[in-house]
Each structure stands twice: as C-alpha cells, then as structure tokens.
Amino acid sequence: MSKTGASDPSSGPVVGDPAPQLALADPSGQSVSLRSLRGRSVVIFFVPKAMTPGCTREACAFAESLGAFEKRGAAVLGVCPDPVERAAKFAEAVKARYPMLADPDHAVCERFGVWREKSMYGRKYWGVVRTTFVIDPKGRVALRYENAKPEGHVPAAMEAIDAIAKDRSKRG
C-alpha cells in the first residue's frame, strides 16, 4: 500500500477537482511547477517506465503533437518514475521539446493517484498506471484519461484542450 492509500483506482483528482501541486526538476535542473503555468491549460502525461516501447510511443506522439498543443496555448509535461538521468536520456531519445520530469520517489505520482498496485503474469508490484490529465487555466482537472494503450492519450488531451477553448470563447 502506498503512503497515500492510492491503491483505489478512484483515488487522486477527478474532473472538476483542483489539480494537486506538481513541482519537479527537469533533467537540466530547472524547476517546473503547475503554479508557474497557471493561466494556461496544461497536459500532464504519466508513463510507467522510460525507454519502454509503449512509453516511447506515447512520448513520441506528444512530441510530434507539441506544436498543435502550443498553438492552442497549452503546455505539455511528461512524468516518469525513473531517476533524473534516465528521464534525460528518454527525453533525448523521443526528441521531447517539453519537460520530461523525473519522479523517482513517486510523490507526485501518488498525489495524482497514478501510483498503484499492479499485476502482471500473477506477480503484484507497484508502479505508474498510464494516465493523462488536462488541467484548465484555473488549475482544475478537465480530463483524467486512463488507458494502458498509449495511442489514445494525445487525441483525448487535444479534445479536452479544444473543449476548454470553446468554453472560454462562449464566456467571452
């Protein structure tokens, strides 16, 4: 069981909740926080392990779509539970122009409710459940998308970003 009791899949923030605080150093040592991005939509995707096939496909998809997110005024952050050095190599390998943040003690993963007990081939272990969040400019969760397959995360995030923009334009 994790320190925060995150074994319940419904733990962590849901749509409408304030986003938990996120403050991690990127591979260059720069601190990245949600607070510093307030006023913008932010996509945060959590990958189970850097340099693995599925996580690489997902991170590459976000890298390839970064221009489209930026055109919509959104920032993209990747988070992995690996050491900083591995996160840096991963960011370089996928040509990430967004921060790939390391969370080796999984404190941020726990706050977001993505650090959970998992099972594979009958073996139980703790790890990150592949999840993407979209945080609106006011700091509230607009999307929580969980899916083991990496392919759906970018379209789900883009749709949420577009919905936020549409809602903001209606309000004038």
Q: Which residues are catalytic?
A: 55
Q: Nearest Cα to 113, choosing from 71, 152, 145, 138?
A: 145
Residue 95 region by backbone torsions, left for phi larger than 0, else alpha for psi between -120 and 50, else beta: left
Is the alpha carbon torsion for 152, 45, 105, 107 positive or negative? negative
Residue 30 contacts residue 37 (beta carbons within 8 Å): no
